[in-house]
Structure 1
Amino acid sequence: MCDTVVNEDVQNIINVDSVDWKQFHGKTIAVTGATGLIGKMCVFALLAADKKYNLNLKVLAFVRNEKKAKAIFAGEANDQLAFVVTDILEPVPQNIIADYLIHGASVTASRMMVEQPVETIMTAIQGTRNMLQFAERCKMESMVYLSSMEVYGIMPKEQVEVKETDLGYINPLEIRSSYSEGKRMSECLCAAFASEYNVNVKIARLAQTFGAGIAKDENRVFAQFARSVIEKKDIVLHTRGEKANCYCYISDAIAGILTLLTHGNKGEAYNVANMDTFCSIREMAEIFVSVSENSTSKLVFDIPEDSNKYGYAPSSVLRLNSDKISTLGWKPLMNMNDMAKRLMQSMAQNEVE
């Protein structure tokens, strides 16, 4: 990897105490969505842990585009990594065997959620069903399903913090709900397989996660902010920026996922979020401007009459409580200022390349 920030992040992951790395000795770990940010960082971390702890593990990277995968993992070509070129909408071939599974393949682009809601729903539900059946067939030791904070929907304004037992309102007739309802049903599938077939699956409800290593064509809000500041352009908001959430830096999120893989309780959900990062979209934009040296960028507003066409999630306030996963020893290391700085440092390096 040429990205020095990504390299530092990987080292941070494999040095955490909350992951029982010895569990992976001689095991095969499958990762779906392995060319996405979270998937590829899981692969990088597992391969680095293999070297550091002499684990003799093997990683199966589930991908749709083998050429893209080979480019991403060009420096990782060794006997510990193999590509499984497949679509998660199809059952996993019988000859594929694994001991652990991180299921992260999912639609992530907001525009696709409103332009292709059927595909968004089916990717979530059918894809997760296929992966749970894969886990059942292999009698896997553990599986983690990557869910989202969007399963909570819109919480009451008086809700101070959101724990795993809380749920808000989602309108199933809103097209943008294809993502959140798909995630909810996938969680229900996980609980059902855990109960009926004894699949040891855990659910990671991820706060919005970002950091070093994002794709060059990433278009989510954090990437837009970073790109604008790097190019010394103004950050333009198409809403008032009132939506407020907790976030999680990529290395902290991967450490959380791996902690659940080795320590989480079967059939249970865990918020994976840095509670100290709670801020509005507007406040996040202001942070990106403020942490950049010699920045000439400003925050401006250009709110169209119909902002729904952009596929933005409903405006809400969602302060996730991560006490439950903290009891497993996990704790986030990066605050919002660190997250913004590291993202821009990484993006700037990749632009030079």
Structure 2
Amino acid sequence: MNLLYRSALERVVDSIDVNGKAFLITGASGLIGSCLIDLLMIANEKGKTNHVYALGRSAKKLESRFTNYLSSNTFHVIEQDICFPISDNLHFDYIVHAASNADPINYAKYPAETITTNMLGTINVLEYTRHNPGCVAEFLSTFEVYGNTGKDDYEESDVGILNFNEIRACYPESKRAAETLVRCYVKEYGLDVKIGRLSSIYGPTMAADDSKAHAQFMRNALEGKDIVLKSKGLQRRTYCYVLDAVTGILAVLFHGEKGEAYNISNEKSIVSIAELAQIIAEKCGRKVVYALPSELEMNGFSKPQNCILENSKLKALGWHANYNIFEGVNECLSILEEIANN
């Protein structure tokens, strides 16, 4: 494991405040899932005895990503598509449901699969939780569920308009429906399931082919290329470094109210897309250039203009951010640069 990344994990390891429990992480090889597993396993190295189950469609991919943990008796790989039921023969105390198609290009290429994964995966997590009393789960949603509210700042109670006539709605509409499923199961069966609404998350665990704008910016800059901005970049977003995101997710999992949604966001990381591009460019000694997007890229663009997630509800659980946008970007780029050079 990269030493800078390990050091960052060790600084927040106290967010794992349970012991002797079993965690299931779906979407284990993704941006959020992989960082969460790393944090749980670092906590085990520091004396915790939690069992960590990494669920994903490819055992080979999981074993490659988590090579350092394969010899540990507290780490377990589950090769499974989340669209199929989770075995009741396995016991989990906590589930973080992070499995989702979260890549804009793939929303455009595979809209049907995007919807079915979000819906069936959530149903299977909820059904497991229903049949295993005492299990606590968290569904990871997205800021995109808000749609167009007519304002820039979004609180958890806000409701906006989504254009379901567009194929791009496959992602936010299925996340909306999955949130409703969570609330229905909580109401009807009394389950302890919470919702974490993610802001724009970035970090060194991003996939190499992640097509989100901030991921492309970082790749270009680290490869010695200029940063290509395919819009004016005036939209303001709440960004959140992955180390802050996973501690926020855990705060919701351990301390959130069942059936409630919490914005996972950082008030110290609100910038426009163009400003973020400039921050990355300056860090890497590059410049920002403008280009027209392809039709496929345009089909994957999110629609909200400004999207600033209010996070007082999350902070009321005792959570706080450890990074501002400059600190998060600098650490992320430093880790990725070290990984590329080793």
Q: Name the TM-score, length of structure 2 as normaliser.
A: 0.95
Q: 1:142 to 1:305 in 2, by over 3 A?
A: closer
Of the three residues 61, 67, 79, the one matched with 1:74 is 67
> What is the Cα-based RMSD across aligned positions, in Å?
1.6
> Could you say which residue in structure 1 is the equivalent of 2:162?
170
Counterpart code for 2:119: I
Q: Which residue of 2 aligns with 1:209?
A: 201
Listed as ranges, the matches of 1:1-353 within 5 Å are 1=1, 3-16=2-15, 21-22=17-18, 25-52=19-46, 54-77=47-70, 78-156=72-150, 159-292=151-284, 295=285, 297-304=286-293, 306=295, 309-353=298-342
Q: Which amino acid aligns with 1:58?
A: H
Deviates more, 1:107-116 or 1:246-255: 107-116
Between the aligned residues of both structures, percent identity stands at 32
Whole-Å separation in 1 of the counterparts to 2:276 and 2:264: 19
Decide whether the 8 Å contact of 1:121 with 1:182 is kept in 2: yes
CA contact (8 A) 2:144 2:304 kept: no
**Deviates most, 63-72 or 301-310:** 301-310
SS at match of 2:191: coil
Contact persistence 1:155–1:316 (CA under 8 A): no
User: Deviation of residue 175 (structure 1)?
Assistant: 0.6
Q: Structure 1 length normalisation: TM-score?
A: 0.92
Aligned length: 341
C-alpha distance in structure 1 between counterparts of 2:119 and 2:110, whole Å: 15
Amino acid in the other structure paired with 1:286:
Q
* Distance in structure 2 (CA, Å) of the matches to 1:298 and 1:217: 22
CA contact (8 A) 2:33 2:98 kept: yes
Higher mean C-alpha displacement, 230-239 vs 142-151: 230-239
Q: 2: distance between equivalents of 1:28 and 1:306?
A: 44
Which stretches in structure 2 are left out of the alignment for 5+ residues? Answer: none
Q: Deviations over 1:109-157 (max 9, x none)?
A: 111112211111111111100011111111134111111111111231x
CA distance in structure 2 between the aligned counterparts of 1:63 and 1:164, rounded to whole angstroms: 30
In structure 1, stretches of 5+ residues that fail to align are: none
CA distance in 1, matches of 2:226, 2:283: 15
1: CA distance between counterparts of 2:310 and 2:158? 10
- The superposition leaves residues 4-42 of structure 1 with CA deviations (integer Å, 9 ceiling, x where unpaired) of 2321221122134xx5x13xx222111100111210111
Q: Which amino acid aligns with 1:12?
A: R
**CA deviation after TM superposition for structure 1 residue 308, in Å:** 5.7
